[in-house]
Each structure stands twice: as structure tokens, then as C-alpha cells.
Chain A
Amino acid sequence: MGTDPKHLEITLETQVDSVNVAEEMCLRVAEAAGFGEDDCYKIGMSVREGVINAFHYGNKERPDKKIHLAVDLTNDKMIIHVLDEGTGFTLASVPDPLAEENLLSTSGRGIFLMRAFMDEFDVVSGRTGGAEIVMAKKLPLQENPGTNGQGSQGASPHQGA
């Protein structure tokens, strides 16, 4: 069950509701792949944060631009790509939200949460010239039948750039 590689792609409009569409699609895939509730929450949140950034920073909320979401299910992980039509950015330029001077900032935590909630996270320059977020979560081990695949819990955040 669920061991053939699978690929899903969807083009989303640059609008707030795309955030929910993206989250729901990824949640459906994650649940079918056997992720437990906690992992599904983390995957859903990461997708939301990625798509919100694509909507706001990448596409600058311009309705003529699109957000490209792709999900791959391999033998051992779920990989999610969020590509926008902006001009891209580098992770090194993103401030650390845990730094003392940023603790009371009202923004700047989205990327931090994606890194903390996923097992792999990177930002590359996509084919559109925009930012492409590539993030992955390891599939839960299926060795414990009966435990509803509670996967890896309490993954610690990857700090620094």
C-alpha cells in the first residue's frame, strides 16, 4: 500500500483561498500516505506558510501571477514544491526570529516554522525565476501495526541559515 511513486501538480490562483486549497490537497495526500495526526498538522501548516509567502512576497498579490504546487510521494518521503512567479530570495538574507531583537517582531516566523516542522527544507531559484520552496517529510515507519503511524514526533527546529 502506498509504495508506488506518485506525483500531483496543481496551479493555484494568487488569492487567499489558495492557501486552504493547497493545505487540503496536501493533507489528503499525507493522510493517504499514512502520516499520523501530528505530522499532518505539521505538513499542513508548512504548506500554508509556503503558499502565503508565494502569494504575498513572491507574486505580490497580483492576480495575473500563479502559484505552482507539486507533491511527490516516494518510497520514503513526501516532497512538496511551492513555486511562485516573483524574483526569488535567499535563505541567508532571512533574519533569525529567535534572536533577542526579533522576539517581539510581528512577522518573520513562517520560514522558521517550515524548517522546524519538515525534515528537509530548501529554497531554490525556480524555472519561473521565482522562489521555489522544496520541503520533505519522511514517511512514518510502518513497522508498528496498530499504532496509526504516529511518525516522528517532536522534531527539533533546524536553527540558523
Chain B
Amino acid sequence: MPLRATHRDAGQATVLDLSGKITLGEGSALLRTTVRKLLDDQRTRILLNLADVDYIDSSGIGELVSAYTTVKGRGGELKLLHLTKKVHDLLQLTKLFTVFEVYSDESTALNSFQ
């Protein structure tokens, strides 16, 4: 299943709901263009909901890091919500778990942006 991305505004932040795989090719590219579009719309507080993402390869990890640094570079913040076990383990393995702010509850995550 290819990656799907939809966003919804939640107060000052924007939740980007992703489902599918973030892998080399379309998945990674869709994440990149979607985040870029949100930034162009001045949406710089982004919460990536990864509840329905259970496959990410090295290209997808690179794209997550790229999204994180790009958003930060624009003065915003990008945080992660609802990691599946596979994605959690992958971020732990690559030591990125400590780089990203990760939440398991949406309202707590949203409040952290204020």
C-alpha cells in the first residue's frame, strides 16, 4: 500500500495523518512534498501521526530527519505521534528516538506546541 497523507488543523498546530509505507520512491517523496506544502502555508507546528505507518526503510528514516530539520530551520517544530512498535524500535535502534519529540496521546502532543 502506497503512503497516504491528509492534514487537519488542530489549534495552532497541524496534524499530518500518514498511512502506508514510507520507503524509497513515492512514500518518501510524498512526505517531503506534503511537509513542504504545509510550510508554504505557514503551518510550522506539525504533528506527524504515524499510527498507521508500520514500515519505514532507510530512505524513509532519512526523509523524517529531513522533515524535522527543514521545519526547525523555518522556525517551527515537528513532533511525532503514535509510533507503531516497528517504527518505535527503528527509531530506538538508530538513536533518533532521543532526537524527535514523541507522544502517545494527541492532546498532550498538541498542548506541547503552545
Interface of A with B (CB < 8 Å)?
Answer: 16, 19, 41, 45, 48-49, 52, 97-98, 103-107, 109-110, 112-113, 116, 157
Nearest A residue to B62 by beta-carbon distance? A106
Q: How far is the CA of A52 from the CA of B62 in the complex (A)?
A: 14
Which residues from chain B contact A103 at a C-beta distance below 8 Å?
95-96, 99
Distance in Å: Cβ of B85 to nearest Cβ of chain A: 10
Contacts A104-B65, A107-B62 known; A48 to B94 CB distance under 8 Å?
no
Distance in Å: Cβ of A131 to nearest Cβ of chain B: 16
Chain B contact residues (Cβ within 8 angstroms of A): what range?
20 to 34
Interface of B with A (CB < 8 Å)?
Answer: 23-25, 55, 57-59, 61-63, 65-66, 68-69, 86, 90, 93-96, 99
Q: How far is the CA of A157 from the CA of B61 in the complex (A)?
A: 17
Which residues from chain A contact B23 at a C-beta distance below 8 Å?
48
B58 contacts A98, C-beta separation under 8 Å: no
Q: How far is the CA of A19 from the CA of B66 in the complex (A)?
A: 23
Which residues from chain B contact A104 at a C-beta distance below 8 Å?
65, 68-69, 99
B58 contacts A109, C-beta separation under 8 Å: yes
Q: How far is the CA of A157 from the CA of B25 in the complex (A)?
A: 26
B93 contacts A52, C-beta separation under 8 Å: no
Q: How far is the CA of A97 from the CA of B96 in the complex (A)?
A: 10
